[in-house]
Amino acid sequence: MQPDELFFEILLSLVPTALIYAAFHFHRKRTRPLSKIRLYLFNTGLIFGVLGSVAFLFVIISPFPLIADANGWHTNPRDNLLYMTAIGVAFATIVFSLFGRRAARLLLLGAGIVLLVLSQWAFVANHW
């Protein structure tokens, strides 16, 4: 992997992280407090978003070498597990974003959608 490719991949992983930070910032600036359960669920969405960004970074870097299986396909079970984790966490971020309010909700929803699309793209790019 070239250093400039690694730099681009790290920058790409910062896009959803920037949206998550903006959602956190707007969430803290809200005028009316959320109920405890909504606050807990939205904060869970923020944490899942950060975990999804880290999982996406590992999916795009693909630290696991591909292994030939009996059918001639090249795969790695750990890489597939990491991909499924990234997709699952992106879906969870989208669901938990709905418990926020106004701009924070939209930013976290956008971050979840970006994570979903980028994780799918990274997996396909690594296995094409």
Rounded CA-CA distance 107/127 in Å is 30
pLDDT in tens, 33-78: 778 899 899 999 999 999 988 888 887 776 666 666 677 666 677 7
Contact criterion met (CB below 8 Å) for 76 and 50? no
* Strand ranges for the chain from DSSP E: 67-68, 74-75
Q: Please, is 75 exposed, middle or buried when counting C-beta atoms within 10 Å of its C-beta (0-12, 13-18, 19+)?
A: middle
Confidence of residue 128 (pLDDT cuts 50, 70, 90): low
If you average pLDDT over every residue of the chain, what do you get?
A: 84
Q: What is the model's pTM? A: 0.83
Contact criterion met (CB below 8 Å) for 49 and 15? no
pLDDT cut 90: percent of the chain above it: 35
Q: How many domains does the chain have?
A: 1
Q: Which domain holds residue 36?
A: 3-126
Asked which of 5-9, 34-38, 93-97 is least confident by mean pLDDT, the reply is 5-9
pLDDT value at residue 72:
67
